[in-house]
Chain A
Amino acid sequence: MRDFCYSLVIVTGNLWGLKSLQDLEEFRVSTRRWLEENCPQSMRQPITEQDICSGGRRFVFQSDDQKLWLDRMAERGWTAPAWPLEYGGGGLNHDQAKVLREEMASITARLPLQGMGISMIGPAILEFGSDALKKQHLPQIARGEIRWCQGYSEPGSGSDLAGLQTRAEDHGDHFIVNGQKVWTSNADQADWMFCLVRTDFEVSKHAGISLVLFDMESAGVTARPIRLISGASVFCETFLEDVRVEKSQVVGDVNNGWTIAKYLLTHEREMIGGIGTAAGTRTLGELATEAIGLSDGRLSDELLRTEVATWEVDSCCHQLTMERVRDEMTADGVGNTSAMIKYYGTEMNKRRFELLMALGGSDALHWKEGTDTQRWLRSKGNSIEGGTSEIQLNIISKRILGLG
Chain B
Amino acid sequence: MQKLVLTEEEQMVRESAADFLFKKAGPGALREIRDTANPKGFSSEVWLEMVELGWPSILIGEAQGGLGFSHVAMGQIMELCGSTLACSPLFSTAVVGASVLSLGGDRLALLPKVAAGNLTLALAIDEAPRHNPQGIATRAVRRGDGYTLNGEKTFVVDGNVADYLVVSVRADEEPEDVLLFLVPRDAEGVAITKTEMVDSRNSATVQINDVTVESVQRISHSGAGLATLQKVLNIANVHLSAELLGIANECFGRTLRYLNERKQFGVEIGSFQGLQHRAAILWTEIELCKSIVLKALRALDESPEHAGLLASTAKAKTCQVAELASNEGIQMHGGIGMTDEFDIGFFIKRARVVQMLYGDRRYHLNRYAELRAY
Contacts and interface: CB of A to CB of B under 8 A. Distances in A.
B372 A309 contact: yes
B372 A390 contact: no
Interface in B350-374: 365-366, 368-370, 372-374
Interface string A308-336: 11101110111011011001100000000
Nearest to B294: A324
Contact of B284 (A283, A294, A340): A340
B280 A397 contact: yes
Interface in B21-63: none
Contacts, number: 120
The range of chain B's interface size is: 35 or more
A396 interface: yes
Nearest to A102: B1
Nearest to A292: B374
A259 interface: no
Interface in B253-300: 256, 259-260, 267-268, 270-271, 273, 275-277, 279-281, 283-284, 287-292, 294-295
B276 A317 contact: no
A20 interface: no
Interface string B310-334: 0001001100000000000000000
Nearest to B292: A317
B281 A317 contact: no
A316 B374 CA distance: 17
A313 B279 contact: no
A390 B277 contact: yes
Contacts of A11: none
Interface in A206-248: none
Contacts of B368: 309, 312-313
B197 interface: no
A96 interface: no
A9 to B, nearest CB: 18
The range of chain A's interface size is: 35 or more
B374 A393 contact: no
Given A324-B5, A397-B279, A306 B365 contact: yes
A288 B294 contact: no
A21 B281 CA distance: 38
B140 to A, nearest CB: 30
B3 interface: yes
Contacts of A308: 369, 374
Interface string B8-25: 000000000000000000
Contacts of A74: none
A285 interface: yes
Contacts of A278: none
Which of B259, B291, B373 is the most central at the interface, judged by chain A CB atoms within 10 Å of its CB?
Answer: B291
Contacts of A343: 280, 284
Given A313-B313, A402-B260, A403-B279, 9 more contacts: A297-B373, A298-B374, A299-B369, A313-B365, A317-B288, A323-B291, A337-B287, A344-B288, A397-B276
